[in-house]
Amino acid sequence: MSVQLQIVVCAGIVPDPLQTLEPITTPNGPGLKNELVLPAVLDPWAASALYEAAALAAKNPGSKLYLVSLGPKAKLQQVMMTVAQKVPFELVPVDGPIGGFPDAHSTAGALAEAIEAIPGLDKSSLLLFGGWESATRGAGVTLQLIGERLGITDQFQGVDQITVSDDGSFEVLERVEGGKHQVSTCQGAPAVLGWATGNLAEPRNNPQVGMANMRGIMPALQKAKAASLAPNGLRYVSVALPKQQRTTRVVKDLTPDQIAAELAAWIGAE
């Protein structure tokens, strides 16, 4: 016997981290240089959540998987051409700004509104997935805020594994200090799970899955609701790349203890 779940994955798109990302100040606030032409990818943390959600939905026939993503429609279409070939899902797009600078409260509000508008969504069986961290600014509170707006108080962060029982209850492994996991048991949905890396590898591309997904993705993108993210009082004084510092000395005949002491003194002076 299996339990039918409604799994919603919140996954943002981010500039490819392999590109050079240079922050600049624009008339609308901080941004990235040439942001509109930078190639985009699905946030790696949220991608892990999507793959885990797809595996969970496959184990529980009748479950539904939704991917809710906020970003410019053109960028969403570009990313979905690749992501759609990984796992089956229904896309719920929100047309809005990309990047790590928008306020977390405004972002959470737009995503929560999109989730509540999903036709036929049963909140009593809802599992809200997302990334524990992010490849952008990583505010660390967006997923929690979405859950609060949806009235979901059972929340788990740093999740690596979920095991669902036949009665709908589930066990969660959350990362804690010392490379260990905290084991939690929840009576059932609804719940929020912020995923770490999980246990699954990235699925192989499947053109058949991609074609099936794209039949729903393209109409959804055309109907994507625009979202304007208010700063809510958030103000950046400046944005800049981290400073690089390199001091090299070539010294012979130092003992390991002397080298370690010098390194410790240099670190302590920072």
pTM: 0.80
Is residue 236 included in any domain, yes or no?
Answer: no
pLDDT of 52-95, one tens digit each?
999 999 998 888 999 999 888 888 888 898 889 999 999 999 88
In whole angstroms, give the CA distance from residue 46 to residue 166: 26
How many CA atoms within 13 Å lie on the side-chain side of 237? 0
180 pLDDT band, cuts 50/70/90, is confident
pLDDT at residue 150 above 60?
yes
Is residue 249 included in any domain, yes or no?
Answer: no
Is residue 70 included in any domain, yes or no?
Answer: yes
* Residue 186 phi, psi (nearest 5): -120, 140
Place of tokens 């510092």: 245
Cα radius of gyration (the chain): 21
Instruction: Label residue 46 exposed, middle or buried (CB < 10 Å: 0-12, 13-18, 19+).
Output: buried
232 pLDDT band, cuts 50/70/90, is low
**CATH code, domain carrying 149:** 3.40.50.620
Distances (CA, A) of 143 to 18, 80, 137, 152, 222: 25, 21, 14, 11, 26
The domain in which residue 61 lies consists of 6-226
Mean pLDDT along residues 144-167: 90
Is residue 235 included in any domain, yes or no?
Answer: no
In whole angstroms, give the CA distance from residue 40 to residue 48: 17
- How many structural domains are present in the chain? 1
Share of the chain above pLDDT 90, in %: 21
Is residue 58 included in any domain, yes or no?
Answer: yes
Is residue 120 included in any domain, yes or no?
Answer: yes
Is residue 248 included in any domain, yes or no?
Answer: no
